[in-house]
């Protein structure tokens, strides 16, 4: 959840400095909700985290590995956003 909050903050910083959202889904949400897009992002991520936690005890679903993979992807996105912010 913390990575999601940083992602939203960095996205707002990049947009304020003239950047664009490259994710078409989030871009549509930003057009519709404006600066309040982080609420939508928070709710969708929270829902996914709750579902992942609820299904973490199923033997076929490796929730631990899914969580690690999603965390790794989020960290890569955040590092890219930090690079964009620092190089502006």
pLDDT tens readout for residues 35-59:
888 898 889 988 988 887 887 776 6
Per-residue CA distances from 72 to 38, 59, 65, 66, 77 (Å): 21, 22, 10, 10, 9
Average pLDDT, the chain: 86
> pTM for the whole thing?
0.78
Band of pLDDT at residue 79, cut at 50, 70 and 90: very high
pLDDT reading at 4 higher than 90: no
Q: Looking at residue 85, what is its pLDDT?
A: 92
Instruction: Parse the chain into domains and list their residue ranges.
Output: 2-86
């Amino acid at each position: 959840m913390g990575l999601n909050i940083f992602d939203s903050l960095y996205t707002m910083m990049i947009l304020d400095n003239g950047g664009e959202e490259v994710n078409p889904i989030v871009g549509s949400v930003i057009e519709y909700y404006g600066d309040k897009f982080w609420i939508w992002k928070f709710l969708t991520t929270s829902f996914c985290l709750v579902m992942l936690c609820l299904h973490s005890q199923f033997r076929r679903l490796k929730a631990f590995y899914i969580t690690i993979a999603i965390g790794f992807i989020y960290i890569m996105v955040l590092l890219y956003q930090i690079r964009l912010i620092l190089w502006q």
